Structure 1
């Protein structure tokens, strides 16, 4: 069993631990009980769990509480979409083998968006639905600016890549994914507008054909959904808001600080203007989100119920 699967199995163990007791089952409303398992996929510099901290803060447990089977994938914190996608595909097959399910529901945040779309493109028969949350579906202006400031082969690129590689290495060490390859330059390239345009030509399912419209709700037997925030500074107690407030300045239109609102669109757009930034979308920093917006945890619960009602 490889290390990535051990991390995945940890999520399986958590799911089973929460689902096993009779009292928990009796209390479950079935609100989130989808037909197919849900697999959560992290974004750039992401992880499943590191030093006891969940990337998806409180989200898996809340979904499991009312009947969902939830698995948290671990892919390279920094690498190309294709590399991350192949890692995810392997874990999806392991989930199917463990559960006996025919398909899974994929939910990807940030770079997890193109990652789950890659798997849906190369193995559509294994996927019931794809949901992207703050997904970089048409590229990130922040990545474009960073790439412009770090020309290929330059000293500045080498220095930045070294720092990013060190950070991703620490993340891998803390999360137990040290065997996963890291390549910050490939990750940066993958998130640019130019690279995503090429990716979308190869994997067009669910991608809007207009600049800021919706895409096909269903293609190749897969349902497509998306939602995102459209704010940068949402809670002054959240230390990540300062950074996202700065990165959001590169946009001339609404964004979550790292991804433009229109770029996040895929398939059925549930909503694209939540008072959330890129970090709020996964309920971090430890739940310090906008006080007057729907809880991010509630959005994931609603999505699970939406999938359930669609027979997925």
Structure 2
């Protein structure tokens, strides 16, 4: 196996808003760690497609392509920016220095760095408007990747922030001499989510102000929840946010069958399936499509996509002899490999 030395972070500020300093690793040193502990397997079965015409829109069905790590991946020549979704973060310290920080991109940033990519993790307001999140993203990128061309890989709402930034914040990017080469969105609700409509309708206009007040007092924004509705995305956001012809747009979707009894997605999956068809528990396949659609990850939930699978469920599946189906680390390494092959 060839050894690829991760890119140095010596040119970046120690407390960068987009990234934190990583030790220099080689792919050879870190590979056994990812093989042993960073695998991410869905705890749900692949969707049953019989009798539902909407499943024909899955495009290329990706079932076992990312079940295991390959021996070698290429790294793109430009840095990768990882953009998180709604209520996300770069890393979260729950007990100061006593416990390791919780990473949104669990093990993914480290794996990409070890593979040879230069990687930065964005951190934007968790539930503010797309515009506010995009402005923070542009500001931070101007500080840490000034003068660079970059590839953005975005999960969930992060794809909307990135699209807004690319379309509407060109002066800020130009001032910092930052050029966006590509945007890869993973389960981004480009066309909104039925579950957002459902929640707002269920709560009702009478109770919403009180809930929003409590959310504001907690230091969180509230604008994102109404912007993720299907009406807002289709009637306001998409018409006013055209793609930049100088940027390559790629997208992936995901879907699961019936979530397990303990899954947080049981209600949302059912609501979205009734209106939009196949979904990953929060975002439908139909809504995930934007630009060049690379395919649908079958049997993969919204949290599986960022390597947050329940380890107890994974071990149970392993003990039961169930086949490996999805490894989030392998998925993102393959995206980086794809960008390298596209000369980005």
Q: TM-score, normalised by structure 1?
A: 0.77
Aligned mates of 2:251, 2:162 — CA distance in 1: 12
* 1:1-312 correspondence to structure 2 within 5 Å: 8-9=16-17, 11-14=19-22, 17-18=23-24, 31-51=73-93, 52-97=101-146, 100-101=147-148, 103-122=149-168, 123=170, 126-152=179-205, 154=206, 156-165=207-216, 169=219, 182-184=220-222, 186-197=223-234, 198-205=236-243, 219-231=244-256, 241=263, 243-251=264-272, 252=274, 253-285=277-309, 292-312=324-344
Which range moved further: 132-141 or 157-166?
A: 157-166
Aligned mates of 1:298, 1:245 — CA distance in 2: 27
1:30-56 alpha-carbon deviations (Å, 9 max, x no partner): 724211111111111111111211011
User: Structure 1 residues 113 and 10 mapped into 2: Cα distance closer, same or farther (>3 Å)?
Assistant: closer
Q: Which runs of 5+ in 1 are unaligned?
A: 170-181, 206-218
What SS does the aligned partner of 1:226 have? strand
User: Structure 1 residues 294 and 221 mapped into 2: Cα distance closer, same or farther (>3 Å)?
Assistant: same
1:184-240 alpha-carbon deviations (Å, 9 max, x no partner): 2x11111011111111101132xxxxxxxxxxxxx521111111211165667xx5x
Report the structure, 1 or 2, having the larger helix content. Answer: 1
The answer to whether the Cα contact below 8 Å between 1:228 and 1:281 also exists between their aligned partners in 2 is no
Count of aligned pairs: 267
Aligned mates of 1:143, 1:204 — CA distance in 2: 23
Q: Looking at both structures, which has the greater relative contact order when contacts are Cα pairs under 8 Å and sequence separation is at least 6?
A: 2
What SS does the aligned partner of 1:91 have? helix
Q: TM-score, normalised by structure 2?
A: 0.70
Q: CA deviation at 1:147?
A: 1.9
Q: CA deviation at 1:295?
A: 0.8
The answer to whether the Cα contact below 8 Å between 1:225 and 1:269 also exists between their aligned partners in 2 is yes
